[in-house]
Structure 1
Amino acid sequence: MKKATLFTAFLFASAATFAQTWKLDKAHAKVGFTVTHLLVSEVDGNFKTFDATLTSSKPDFSDAVVELTADVNSIDTDNERRDSDLKSDKFFDAAKFPTLTFKSKTFQKVEGKKYKVTGDMTMHGVTKPVTLDVTLNGPIQHPMSKKDVAGFKITGELKRSDFGIGPNMTTAVVSDEIALRANAEFGKQ
């Protein structure tokens, strides 16, 4: 029994040892969203302050773990009045819930460079499971730094009502469906 326990501990330690951490290159990353306004136009926004890490022991990232945090107070829709409204208790309530987070549970290869990432999104004090589409670009060796880099294009959709955001705002004014998109470049550490 003692040998089995030691062997199991060795296996877990070995798996952790071979996991590679990939650091976000913030100069080449963006986390954004799109909503429909008055049923006729789309409004884009993003979070100016965010960070993410990716850890994977497999070169095809099929076991990747992704963690993202975004500062809700950094929301930017190119309109100060709208941004203030979004930060208020009518929507995100940034004073009470200043951080948006995502932590993956699975990162599954679909085919080729296409993946599905499923994890827990927390906004406005509510945590819900979400599934996002991911396209992998790379990895390649950076021509200047000679380090491995990989790019990820992430898209998906969620409902703001699932997170209690803008509960008094009708969908005729602001859509319930929020399109998510992110582009991120990571460098292997």
Structure 2
Amino acid sequence: MKKLFAIFTALVFSVSAFGQLVLKNDPAHSRIQFEVIHLGINDITGNFDKANLTINADQKNFVNSKLTFTVDVNSINTHIEARDNHLRSADFFDVAKYPTMDFVSTSLVKTANNFYTLNGNLTMHGVTKPVTLTLVYRGSTVNAMNKKTTHGYQVSGTLNRSDFGIGPKFPIPMINDLIRIKGDFELTAD
């Protein structure tokens, strides 16, 4: 009976693993950008230069896939060193205490061809909140350099910095509460 149970368990795990494809991003071609309105008159933009996205893709039904991404907050880059250092400080992200921003999907709903509503939990600055983002599958192609199939995904949405305790000393007329984000990722299978 134990042998039969072991065979059944192995069969279940092999069937559930079939149809799964683990996609990981290419760091040289992946980035998360953000935009915030400063003084009510100007967009300030920047990047997180180090971000990793993993998709445990269900090849039979993509909406059953699981997505996670992690951002190295210390990699913030607005092209102004003094501002970047201030954003890393305890006034904003406090990277010494909270070095990463992490997202784990909870659901994926197809809304149109290659467009999905992505729900999940975002942890930033020690606070975890549910967020809703848009995921777009941009297609796939074989990369001539490494002969691997490369998939393109874009994640976008808006967040309120106050929900995560980012920059509480800076009022909305100075730095808007609404932050627009966009992540562009090229991913390949392991």
Instruction: Please confirm whether the aligned pair reaches a TM-score higher than 0.5, indicating the same fold.
Output: yes
Letter of the structure 2 residue corresponding to residue 81 of structure 1: A
Structure 2 counterparts to residues 21-170 of structure 1, below 5 A:
21-58=22-59, 61-170=62-171
The one-character-per-residue Cα deviations of 1:6-40 (angstroms, maximum 9, x if unpaired) are 85774354213431111211121111111000000
Q: Per-residue CA shift, 1:79-98, capped at 9, x if unaligned?
A: 11111111111111111111
1:5–1:162 CA distance, 2 compared to 1 (3 A): farther
Q: In the superposition, relative to structure 1, how do residues 182 and 59 fare at CA in structure 2: closer, same or farther (>3 Å)?
A: farther
Q: 1:95-146 CA deviation, whole Å, 9 max, x = no partner? A: 1111111111112221111111111110000000111111111133334433
Distance in 2 separating the partners of 1:98 and 1:26? 18
Tell me if structure 2 keeps the 8 A contact 1:72–1:98: yes
In structure 2, what is the Cα distance between the partners aligned to 1:69 and 1:183? 13
Q: Check whether the contact 1:134–1:153 (CA below 8 A) recurs between aligned residues.
A: yes
Inter-partner Cα distance in structure 1 for 2:11 and 2:52: 32
CA–CA distance in structure 1, aligned partners of residues 19 and 115 of structure 2: 24
CA contact (8 A) 2:27 2:50 kept: no
SS at structure 1 position matched to 2:63: coil
How many Å separate the matches in 2 of 1:59 and 1:45? Answer: 37
Identity of aligned residues (%): 38
Instruction: Give the CA deviation at 1:164.
Output: 0.7
Say whether the 8 Å CA contact 1:116–1:134 is kept in structure 2: yes
* Aligned counterpart, 2:189: 188
SS of residue in 1 equivalent to 2:83: helix
Label 1:39 to 1:153 Cα distance change in 2 as closer, same or farther (>3 A).
same
2:78 and 2:61 mapped to 1: Cα distance?
35
CA contact (8 A) 1:63 1:108 kept: no
- Structure-2 separation of matches of 1:146 and 1:72: 32
Q: In the alignment, which residue of structure 2 is the partner of 1:175?
A: 176
Note the alpha carbon deviations across 1:46-88, whole angstroms, 9 max, x for none: 1122222111122663222111111111111111111111111
Cα RMSD over matched residues? 2.2
Aligned to 2:21: 20
Q: 16-25 or 109-118, which moves further after superposition? A: 16-25
What secondary structure does 1:27 align onto? helix
Q: Offset of 1:188 from its aligned partner?
A: 2.1
Secondary structure, in 3 states, of the residue corresponding to 1:162?
A: helix
Between the aligned partners of 1:33 and 1:5, the Cα distance in structure 2 is 50
